[in-house]
């Protein structure tokens, strides 16, 4: 029995850590899925907006003395507003065109945002500590010591994911949104301001990315490339879950985080590629993704 | 669905190719009297702060201080981004050497790129002054009559930080290794040190490079091995993330020690002293080491993002300064005609500059100078910005680098 426990221990450890990474994948792919599902825009700037969330948190702390909790609220608000400006001035002009134009525009925006931050702050990163409330010895789970802050990440991520899913699938506002995607003219004819809803949706998606950025700031190095590291994996997560499916992206976000974790025990060299292998298999078997509607 | 992985990759490739377009069209009239220097390094990724535009700034200072331009020789400097990818670096260097007649390639952090450049420069008989890369193979099996490995290498890091850890009682080691040429070389050199001292390597894990953000799984595997020392055979952003997450998980709480085998001053700055205090590290240059290094830092002026010069940037200065001495001694025409002859001349003159003091260059292309074992100060000990290191030990020049007989360099085999 003890031997079995010994074998099981790394499995449990990596599963738990994978859950934390999965929390970030889920939050980021959620924002992407919302934006793609509602606006049909492939938001390549999502990683840069995630990074911006973390950098704004650092700026709030450094220049205004506003700590983690304030940043958790303010940073998504600020970056979300920036998203609103981007949507109004640029993206809204592309809705009628092919997806590719939106992809190219947001990819360009991502390069510009990353370049600006790099010129201003360099690449090594900005120090951002774990908030005081979580400065306690790691919690002993029996099979590993888990820092309290990482629990918080998982709890917040699950809450936000479920909340967003509920808002879109179960509320009246959500039903308007979904209707506006299917039949924009008809919904507008009923007196609903569709362009405003589009803008608000993009702003919300961007705010979700920034929110994930603030969550990530205490555990990952805050630097201009931090989003680029995530975004390719997150795109794979969205494709696996099914483009535009909220639940699909959340579930596959967590699942892939854990699979990646297990890979780190048995074949660490492949941990960066395992997600793409799964993506290839899923695309072969179910081209619309696990939860997608073909 | 118009979006698929192919369009994604095409977009990424298009973006990646952009920096390759380097502005370069000059009249060829003065070409015979012009030395062309290409600074190739990471201008956008995790090694930008420790090399990047700061290296170019250091090279320009070297040219200015050599005074060679006042004696009628033109020196041109161009910089490019290799994005830490051997294919990108090779393309740039081929273009520089084959089409634009460059004479010298400087810096090149990221060992995998440096090894590729090493071969290209040798084939075309130009000069490679390597400051940024770490692999000790550059003065070992891959040594070249056209290359000088200037600033530091993996053997020196093993001797410095690894040696200090073993001396302090760290007998069993576990490595977290960046999965490319540099990480492998560093792990190999430190392992040899540990074993020679009677210690034991109980395991290692290879992390994908670049692209690993979360090191906690690897840190836990290391902790589970019950090793006394966790050796971080990685650099830049990878080291920062490893140390940050090790602190978060309380890895060092049970007496396990963390050995950052390659830590630059820019990494310490990014971590902040509360997280990095107490770390032991080895460098060959520290801006606040003595009057000469402080004077150099002063002359260099304000650096990009207000950082202090790293040893890599200091190495670029020192190497180019020495190269230009050799050019003056042998004449521009002779130096341009044969890179190997220029390197030979460089080896025959003793080196001297403010960054590394007095030194020599060995036949295998290894530049020899002292190395320093530092400890990162506590926040209380630090008197101001960038006051980060206290000197623990000076490793004399003749002990700091691998003995020439042990490197397996074909140039010195008898």
Three-class SS state of B51: coil
Residue of A209, A210, A198 lying closest to A235 (CA atoms): A209
Is the sign of the CA dihedral A180, A186, A192, A198 positive or negative? Answer: positive
DSSP state string for chain A: -HHHHHHHHHHHHHHHHHHHHHHHHHHHHHHHHHHHHHH----TTHHHHHHHHHHHHHHHHHHH---HHHHHHHHHHHHHHHHHHHHHHTGGGGTTS-HHHHHHHHHHHHHHHHHHHHHHH-SS-B--PPPGGG-SPPEE-SS-EE-HHHHHHHHHHHHHHHHHHHHHHHSHHHHHHHHHHH-HHHHHHTT--HHHHHHHHHHHHHHHHHHHHHHHTTTS-B-TTHHHHHHHHHHHHHHHH-TT-HHHHHHHHHHHHHHHHHHHHH-GGGTTTHHHHHHHHHHHH-TT-SS---
Closest chain B residue by Cα to residue A44: B8
Report CB contact under 8 Å: B11, A243: no
Q: Give contacts of A144 with chain B, Cβ < 8 Å.
A: 220
In this predicted structure, the answer to whether residue A281 has a pLDDT above a threshold of 90 is: yes
Domain that holds residue A133: 19-285
pLDDT grade for B23, boundaries at 50, 70 and 90: very low
- The confidence band for A232, taking pLDDT boundaries of 50, 70 and 90, is confident
pLDDT single digits (tens) A8-65: 777 888 888 899 999 999 999 999 988 988 888 889 999 999 999 999 999 999 999 9
Instruction: State the burial class of residue B406 (Cβ atoms within 10 Å of its Cβ: 0-12, 13-18, 19+).
Output: exposed
For B:84-123, CB contacts with A below 8 A are none
CB contact under 8 A, B208 and A271: yes
A6 pLDDT more than 70: no
Nearest-10 Cα torsion for B270, B272, B273, B276: -60
Beta carbons of B323 and B102 less than 8 angstroms apart: no
B210 cis-preceded (ω within 30 degrees of 0): yes
SS3 B94: helix
Min Cα–Cα distance to chain B from A2, Å: 16
pLDDT band at residue A220 using 50, 70 and 90 as cut-offs: confident
Residue of A nearest to B2 (CA): A99
What's the gap in Å between the CA of A99 and the closest CA on chain B? 6
**How confident is the model over A249-257, as a mean pLDDT?**
93
CA distance B45 to A107: 17
Between the alpha carbon of residue A34 and those of residues A38, A43, A89, A289, B205, the distances in Å are 6, 10, 20, 16, 37
Structural tokens at position B158: 């093993």
Q: List, in order of start, the domains of chain B with CATH numbers.
A: 27-152+291-369 (3.40.50.2300), 155-283+370-400 (3.40.50.2300)
Chain A residue numbers touching B45 (CB-CB < 8 A): 123, 225
- Report chain A residues whose CB lies below 8 A from the CB of B57: none
- At residue A3 the predicted structure's pLDDT band, cuts being 50, 70 and 90, is low
Residue A193 has pLDDT above 50, yes or no: yes
A95 phi and psi, to 5 degrees? -55, -35
Share of chain B above pLDDT 70, in %: 93
Quote the minimal CA–CA distance from B293 to chain A in Å: 23
Q: Identify the band that residue A98 occupies on the pLDDT scale cut at 50, 70 and 90.
A: confident
Q: Quote the CA–CA distance of B162 and B177 in Å, as a whole number.
A: 14
H or E segment to which residue B366 belongs: none
Distance from CA of residue A55 to its chain's centroid?
16
Mean pLDDT value across chain A: 89
CATH number, domain of A161, equals: 1.10.3470
| SS3 (DSSP) at B155 | helix
For B248, other C-beta atoms within 10 Å of its C-beta total 21
Tokens at A232, concatenated: 């390719």
Chain A residues whose beta carbon lies within 8 Å of the beta carbon of residue B274: 129
Domain assignment of residue A293, yes or no: no
Q: What count of other Cβ atoms lies within 10 Å of the Cβ of residue A49? A: 31
| Average pLDDT in chain B | 90
Contact B270 A126 (CB under 8 A): yes
Looking at residue B18, what is its pLDDT?
A: 47
What residues contact residue A217 under an 8 Å CB cut-off, 6+ apart? A53, A54, A57, A58, A71, A128
- Average pLDDT over every residue of B141-148: 96
Q: Say what the pLDDT of residue A79 is.
A: 97
Say which residues have a Cβ less than 8 Å from residue A162's Cβ, sequence separation at least 6. none
**Cα torsion angle, B104, B110, B114, B116, sign:** negative
Instruction: Using the predicted structure, report yes or no on whether residue A251 has a pLDDT greater than 80.
Output: yes
- Average pLDDT estimate for A262-286: 89
Chain A residues inside the 8 Å CB shell of B266: 122, 124
**B168-194: per-residue pLDDT in tens?**
888 999 999 999 889 999 999 999 999
pLDDT at residue B20 is higher than 50 = no
Nearest beta carbon to residue B224 from set A10, A137, A268: A10
Question: How many domains in chain A?
Answer: 1
pLDDT of residue B68: 94
In terms of CA atoms, which chain A residue is nearest residue B178? A269
Domain assignment present for A248? yes
pLDDT at B21: 44
CA angle B409, B400, B366 (to 5 degrees): 35
Q: Are strands B257-260 and B229-233 parallel, antiparallel or unpaired?
A: parallel
- Is 50 exceeded by the pLDDT of residue A73? yes
Kindly state whether residue A10 falls inside one of the protein's structural domains: no
Angle between helices A246-266 and A2-39 (to 10 degrees): 150
The average pLDDT across B125-147 equals 96
- Three-state DSSP at B169 gives coil
Bridge pairing between strands B34-41 and B104-107 = parallel
Which phi and psi angles does B103 have, rounded to 5°? -105, -35
pTM attached to this predicted model: 0.83
pLDDT digits (tens, 9 = 90+) for B298-350: 999 998 888 899 999 999 999 999 999 999 999 999 999 999 999 999 999 99
Separation between Cα atoms, residue B20 and residue B36, nearest integer Å = 18
pLDDT at residue A270 tops 50? yes
Spatial CA neighbour of A231 closest among A23, A49, A87, A39: A49
Judged against a pLDDT cut of 70, whether residue A264 lies above it is answered with yes
Residue B28 has pLDDT above 60, yes or no: no
Give yes or no for residue B12 having a pLDDT over 60.
Answer: no
Interval A146-171: pLDDT, tens: 889 999 999 999 999 999 999 988 99
Within a domain: A1? no
Identify which of B45, B47, B241 has the shortest CB distance to residue A221. Answer: B241
Asked, for residue A146, whether it belongs to a domain, the answer is yes
> What's the length of chain B?
414
How far A275 CA sits from the closest chain B CA (Å)?
13
- Coil, strand or helix at B92: helix
Neighbours of A278 (CB within 10 A): 19
Task: Give the dihedral sign, CA B288/B294/B296/B301.
Answer: positive
> Which among A204, A186, A202 has a CA at the least distance from the CA of A39?
A202
Specify the higher pLDDT residue, A82 or A6: A82
């Amino acid at each position: 029995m003890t031997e079995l426990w010994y074998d099981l221990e790394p499995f449990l450890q990596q599963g738990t850590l994978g859950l934390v990474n999965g929390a970030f994948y889920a939050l980021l792919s959620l924002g992407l899925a919302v934006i793609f599902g509602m606006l049909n825009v492939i938001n390549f700037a999502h990683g840069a907006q995630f990074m911006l969330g973390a950098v704004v948190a650092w700026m709030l702390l450094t220049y205004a003395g506003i700590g983690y909790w304030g940043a958790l609220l303010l940073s998504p608000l600020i970056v979300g507003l920036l998203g609103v400006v981007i949507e109004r001035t640029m993206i809204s002009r592309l809705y009628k065109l092919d997806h590719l134009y939106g992809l190219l525009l947001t990819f360009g925006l991502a390069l510009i945002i990353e370049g600006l931050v790099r010129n201003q702050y360099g690449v090594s990163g900005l120090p951002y500590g774990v908030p005081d409330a979580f400065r306690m010895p790691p919690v002993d789970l029996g099979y590993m010591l888990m820092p309290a802050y990482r629990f918080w990440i998982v709890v917040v991520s699950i809450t936000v994911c479920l909340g967003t899913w509920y808002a879109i699938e179960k509320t009246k506002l959500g039903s308007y949104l979904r209707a506006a995607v299917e039949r924009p003219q008809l919904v507008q004819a009923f007196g609903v301001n569709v362009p405003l809803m589009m803008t608000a949706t993009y702003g919300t998606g961007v705010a979700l990315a920034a929110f994930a950025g603030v969550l990530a700031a205490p555990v990952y190095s805050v630097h201009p490339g931090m989003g680029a590291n995530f975004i390719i994996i997150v795109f794979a997560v969205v494709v696996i879950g099914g483009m535009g499916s909220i639940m699909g992206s959340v579930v596959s976000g967590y699942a892939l985080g854990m699979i990646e974790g297990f890979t780190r025990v048995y074949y660490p060299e492949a941990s960066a590629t395992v997600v793409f292998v799964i993506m290839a298999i899923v695309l072969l078997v179910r081209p619309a993704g696990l939860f997608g509607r073909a | 669905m118009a979006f698929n992985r192919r369009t994604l990759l095409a977009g990424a490739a298009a973006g990646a190719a952009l920096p390759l377009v380097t502005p370069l069209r000059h009249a060829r009239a003065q070409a015979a009297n012009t030395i062309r220097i290409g600074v190739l390094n990471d201008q956008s990724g995790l090694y930008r702060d420790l090399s990047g535009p700061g290296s170019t700034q250091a090279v320009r200072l070297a040219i200015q201080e050599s005074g060679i331009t006042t004696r009628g020789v033109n020196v041109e400097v161009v910089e490019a981004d290799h994005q830490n990818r051997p294919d990108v670096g090779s393309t740039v260097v081929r273009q520089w050497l084959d089409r634009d007649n460059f004479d010298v390639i400087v810096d090149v952090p990221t060992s995998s790129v440096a090894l590729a450049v090493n071969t290209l420069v040798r084939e075309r008989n130009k000069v490679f002054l390597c400051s940024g890369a770490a692999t000790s193979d550059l003065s070992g099996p891959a040594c070249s009559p056209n290359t000088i490995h200037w600033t530091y290498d993996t053997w020196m890091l093993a001797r410095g930080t690894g040696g200090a850890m073993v001396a302090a009682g760290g007998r069993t080691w576990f490595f977290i290794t960046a999965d490319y040429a540099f990480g492998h070389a560093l792990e190999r050199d430190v392992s040899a040190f540990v074993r020679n001292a009677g210690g034991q390597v109980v395991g290692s894990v290879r992390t994908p490079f670049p692209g690993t953000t979360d090191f906690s799984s690897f840190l836990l595997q290391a902790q589970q091995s019950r090793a006394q020392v966790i050796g971080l055979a990685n650099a830049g952003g990878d080291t920062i993330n490893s140390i940050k997450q090790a602190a978060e998980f309380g890895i060092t709480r049970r007496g396990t020690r963390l050995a950052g085998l390659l830590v630059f001053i820019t990494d310490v700055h990014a971590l902040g002293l509360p997280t990095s205090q107490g770390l032991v590290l080895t460098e060959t240059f520290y801006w606040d080491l003595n009057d000469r290094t402080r004077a150099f830092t002063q002359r260099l002026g304000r650096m990009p993002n207000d950082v202090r010069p790293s040893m890599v940037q200091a190495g670029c200065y020192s190497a180019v300064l020495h190269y230009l001495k050799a050019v003056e001694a042998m004449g521009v025409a002779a130096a341009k005609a044969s890179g190997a002859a220029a390197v030979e001349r460089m080896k025959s003159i003793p080196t001297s500059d403010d960054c590394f003091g007095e030194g020599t260059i060995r036949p295998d292309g290894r530049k020899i100078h002292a190395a320093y074992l530092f400890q990162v100060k506590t926040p209380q000990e630090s008197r101001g910005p960038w006051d980060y290191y206290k000197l623990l030990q000076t490793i004399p020049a003749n002990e700091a680098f691998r003995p020439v007989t042990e490197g397996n360099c074909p140039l010195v085999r008898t």
